[in-house]
Structure 1
Amino acid sequence: MTSSQRLPASLTPLDAAVATLLGGVGAVAPVELALADALYCIAAETPPLKACPRRDTAAVDGYALCARDLVGASSYSPLPLPAAPVWVEAGEAIPDGCDCVLDLDSVDVSGPMPQVLAEAIPGQGVRRAGSDIAAGRLVVEPGERVLPHALLMARAAGLERLNVRRPRLRVVNVPGGQVTSDLVAESARAAGAATVSFTAAGRDAGSIGAALDSSSCDLLLIIGGSGVGRTDATITALASRGEVLAHGIALQPGRTAAIGRVDKTPAVVLPGASDQALAAWWTLVLPVLDRLSGRCPHRTVNLPLARKIASQVGIAEIVLVERKQDTWSTLAVGELSLEAIVRADAWLVVSGGSEGFAAGSLVDAYMLRE
């Protein structure tokens, strides 16, 4: 590879790059997955649930009775029963005509006639119908991530599968960037994508181009080889297999990132360095995955800045922050160390048209943790 792979004289603004990349991208068709496979995917439309439990059930082991028949019962004045009460185990349906469950110590069945030794109130020891899941409730709202507590509800409702949208993502690693490739693949799986990883046979344009198969994916990611070094050939490879829409994004870190298409499939080239790849992942890849999966907007938290953030005009800069005493404390601006990445609670972008934010300014930051 010669030095023919060059960054353009001017960088493409981040907003323009995102808008171009999203052109023509729509949500993928829903698929029905087993509950374990649906975890962390984005929910599609699902039918409303029936009430759970379907009818009143015992919350404890004991005797099922009617509370109004027990008025005045006590250990000093036992109330005889005309017939033996029905014993129910926790989770069993309450018999018709009963509305409470008394424990073993509150009913004496040792003599010839059973006796109740305590009063009760309606609902005592009972789990009411619909108390766990109200009729008409959804397991998870469309566009939201399927989290473990949603699977708990699904299993309680007797479901075995869920409708979700799971984009198919192909990650192509250019040799030399395996650490970053693993990070991207793991981040993709956490975002609910079905991910297949592939390592190109070499760093030359022919080897990289041979790996750019878009026939079975909704989004193509190429990791590494996006710079202007003598062995950087990814942009040339992408141009040979499809179209380079922009190479050189006004983003710090991550300015050697690129966007393009192979056939009709969007493609993003992420730099091989982990911090630059993360910046491009957050700002370029996640918007595409969100569009493909129909995801609701990511959660942000609005807090004041503990100190000012200064930024260079013309370049969108990534800022990492951690939450301290209800303020955002800045960890890194534009240059992201591994320690800052690990410590960060959230990230934000200072747009290319801004010089930054004054101390005390309220800013929205995208959360990195649930």
Structure 2
Amino acid sequence: MPEMFKVLPPGEALKALFDHLDPEVRSQDLETAEALDRTLCEKLTAPSSLPSFPRSTMDGYAVRAEDTFGATESLPAYLSVIGEVPMGRIFEGVVGPAQAVVVYTGGMIPPGADAVVMVERTQKLDEANIEVLRAVAPGENMIQVGEDVKEGESLFDAGHILRPQDLGGLMALGITRVRVAAALRAAILSTGDEVVSPEQIPGPGQIRDVNSYAIAGLIARSGGIPLLKGIIKDTYESLLSAARSALNASDLLVISAGSSVSTRDLTADVINALGKPGVLVHGVAVRPGKPTILGVCNGKPAIGLPGNPVSAMVVAGLFLTPLLRRMQGAKDPPARGRITARLTHNISSVPGREDYIQVRLEEREGDLWAEPVFGKSNLIYTLVKAEGMICVPLDSNGLHKGELVAVELF
């Protein structure tokens, strides 16, 4: 079968798509507790210092450090215990010369004290006196005011994607609402006369819809709202009608299948009919996922994914995720976690394309190994059984057994 399109390297293909987009980021105010993975639309600064009071990092005694200088087990410093700091309360008094106050981890350091002696470094003489068996320096075993964050300090710039730890940090400062990019609505159409819904029992030659749900999960993880628009039959009229309706109701369109090189390829024609400039890229130098379509229709992106599940997920990770993040104003989209492992098998490739191979991870005698999960791109469980994937570079003939490779974790 002759080639019907000219493939582009993934980086060039993504640039071609971005060059035709100038999205206006919509924003909304959201409870911080609900803002995980959302993109900030404002620069945030600390409204106060954190901590706002000096705190102990140990159970022990708050002291004046100078009163412990020179203390050893054979020649301890003797201090009088004048009280205890209740958790969540202020100590009514001041630590004076040769005095100590009982403090607990996280408790407030009383006025006059500038260090904490660990309880393990002391010995009780009686209820009112202790021996300090080791000297402490000023500031030891305590956190100063503003040591974590100072009032007015920059926290995050606009375009930052909020992580779980970021939510905790904002809550610690009382920032309970944030302005973030509104979640984008991504319409998903699945095409194919052979495709049926997962609830149905497939008849002869039929398969259940896999891609709609896998792609919907990826969209949700990328800060979008997936809109499943159903399964469309392989006719130009039905696909064009469904695609036009879906695109009108969303911010971007994803069409699963229909992007192979064949007489049944309707996706490119439909995208061209939806608006200008239409198809920008038809074919990307990757395996799996070569027959990918990238387009823009009157300012809205439209992506045609290959029908095979592995191909669709690889391509969605390369193009759909960064597209969603860019349209939400993200400055530095978070990369997937990566680890280094040794390859268990040789992997052959052809220069001029990027190959993506799914891998399992296993530990052998203290070393981490990546074992390829070989399988055709229409087998979803090659992805299900994998924990990550590796990329064979564009200009490489392959990778060798025992070679260290970067594994991109799912």
Task: Give the aligned residue type for 2:388.
Answer: D
User: What fraction of aligned residue pairs are identical, expressed as a percent?
Assistant: 23
- SS of residue matched to 1:55: coil
2:163: which partner in 1? 147
Pairwise CA distance, 1:263: 0.8
The answer to whether residue 290 in structure 2 is matched with residue 255 in structure 1 is yes
Q: How does 1:158-307 map to 2 (within 5 A)?
A: 158-162=174-178, 164-165=180-181, 168-174=184-190, 176=195, 178-191=209-222, 193-200=223-230, 202-203=232-233, 204-214=238-248, 216-217=250-251, 219-227=252-260, 233-242=266-275, 243-292=278-327, 293-296=330-333, 298=335, 300-301=338-339, 305-307=343-345
Distance, in Å, in 1 between the alignment partners of 2:155 and 2:248 is 33
Pairwise CA distance, 1:328: 4.3
2:98: which partner in 1? none
Count of matched residue positions in the alignment of Structure 1 and Structure 2: 352
Counterpart selection for 2:51 from 50, 53, 58: 53
Q: Using structure 1 for the length normalisation, give the TM-score.
A: 0.74
Q: Considering fraction of residues, name the structure with more strand.
A: 2
Task: Give the aligned residue type for 1:51.
Answer: S
2:346: which partner in 1? 308
Task: Give the aligned residue type for 1:56.
Answer: P
Pairwise CA distance, 1:317: 2.8
2:130: which partner in 1? 117
Pairwise CA distance, 1:274: 1.4
1:11/1:250 contact within 8 Å kept = no
Distance, in Å, in 2 between the alignment partners of 1:22 and 1:8 is 26
Pairwise CA distance, 1:98: 3.0
1:238/1:244 contact within 8 Å kept = yes
Pairwise CA distance, 1:56: 0.5
Distance change in 2, residues 1:286/1:12 (3 Å): same
Distance change in 2, residues 1:329/1:78 (3 Å): closer
Pairwise CA distance, 1:264: 1.0
Distance, in Å, in 2 between the alignment partners of 1:313 and 1:80 is 77
Distance change in 2, residues 1:63/1:253 (3 Å): closer
Distance, in Å, in 2 between the alignment partners of 1:181 and 1:202 is 12
Distance, in Å, in 1 between the alignment partners of 2:224 and 2:361 is 32
What CA deviation, in whole Å up to 9, does each residue of 1:10-31 have, x standing for no partner?
3422434333222133576484
Pairwise CA distance, 1:281: 0.8
Give 5+ residue unaligned stretches, structure 1: 1-5, 110-114
Q: How does 1:67-86 map to 2 (within 5 A)?
A: 68=66, 85=83
Distance change in 2, residues 1:162/1:27 (3 Å): farther
Q: Greater shift after overlay, 354-363 or 254-263?
A: 354-363
Pairwise CA distance, 1:139: 4.8
- SS of residue matched to 2:373: strand
Q: Using structure 2 for the length normalisation, give the TM-score.
A: 0.68
1:214/1:263 contact within 8 Å kept = no
Distance change in 2, residues 1:63/1:13 (3 Å): closer
1:21: which partner in 2? 17
